[in-house]
Amino acid sequence: MMSAPTNVSDNGRSLTISLNKALYWFSRHWLLVITLLLLIFVGLPWLAPLFMSLGWNQAGETIYLIYSTQCHQLPQRSFFLFGENAMIPLSTIQSIWSNSENPLVLRQFIGSTEVGWKVAWSDRMVYMYTTLLIAGLAFWPLRKRLKPIPWWVLMLFLLPMAVDGLTHMISDVVGGIGGGFRYTNNWLAALTDSTFPATFYTGDAFGSFNSWIRLLSGILFGIGVVWFAYPHLHASFNETAKQIAGKFQQVEASVKTREAS
């Protein structure tokens, strides 16, 4: 009857050791874990159109549903696979799906065998999270020399996306999707004296002004977040690993002392 406290103590010690070992491993491999999670998170939206093209509709629709909580999924601002064009104009989508400017209606269009199948999130999300993944990989060889940027510099990296997203939202609310100032970009045509082709100013197709801004702001977002957060994470986990290693060394020395006595 008196052995129960010893067993409980041994179990608690074993659990503590196991947790410390797990935390030590994670502290040494945190970048690998985050990279693998990002790889899954970034890759799944591209599997949705693949599954739809193979006829695995339930699997594809499940991915669309999951990522609908992360993104507006507007088809005119998304990539399409297995069709003739990487992006589809709003007018084409309205002609084959619904002649509506309601984003809640438009976002339901996931594609067809004729035009291809939509990637499960928008091009902006593709640029943001793909950059996070690539910048994270680039961080590892630079980890000993790269210092974290201050928070106000991070805000500068995020500002282009905030401005672009806010002006798009205002444009869609005031002028409607397909009619707002960020869809026509007449203001930009006036500023540049219509130097570029009309397709550069109007719409969201790849190569348009709107597409370029989403690309650039998404890249800046990913670089800024990694440059700010990853050096802090590296320093914090590195210190944690050292502390746990020190505890293990103390335990090992204590055991050797007891054995010697």
Is the distance from CB of 123 to CB of 79 less than 8 angstroms?
A: yes
Question: What was the pLDDT predicted at 123?
Answer: 95
If you ran DSSP here, which 8-state letter would residue 102 be given?
-
- CA torsion sign for 33, 34, 35, 41 is positive
Question: pTM here?
Answer: 0.86
Question: Is residue 244 included in any domain, yes or no?
Answer: no
Is the distance from CB of 180 to CB of 171 less than 8 angstroms?
A: yes
Show Cβ contacts of residue 148 under 8 Å, excluding neighbours closer than 6 positions: 227, 228, 229, 230, 231, 232
Query: Considering its fold, how many domains does the chain have in total?
Result: 1
Question: Is residue 30 included in any domain, yes or no?
Answer: yes
Question: Is residue 252 included in any domain, yes or no?
Answer: no
Question: Is residue 42 included in any domain, yes or no?
Answer: yes
Question: Is residue 143 included in any domain, yes or no?
Answer: yes
1-26 pLDDT per residue, tens = 444 555 556 666 777 788 888 898 99
- Phi then psi for residue 173, to 5 deg, are -75, -45
Q: For the chain, which residues score pLDDT lower than 70?
A: 1-12, 251, 253-257, 259-261
Question: Is residue 163 included in any domain, yes or no?
Answer: yes
Question: What was the pLDDT predicted at 182?
Answer: 92
Distances, alpha carbon 138 to alpha carbons 15, 143, 230, in Å: 36, 9, 11
Question: Is residue 74 included in any domain, yes or no?
Answer: yes
Instruction: Say what the alpha-carbon torsion angle 28, 31, 35, 36 is, to the nearest 10 degrees.
Output: 10
Question: Is residue 81 included in any domain, yes or no?
Answer: yes
Q: Domain of 159?
A: 20-239
Residue type, 135: A
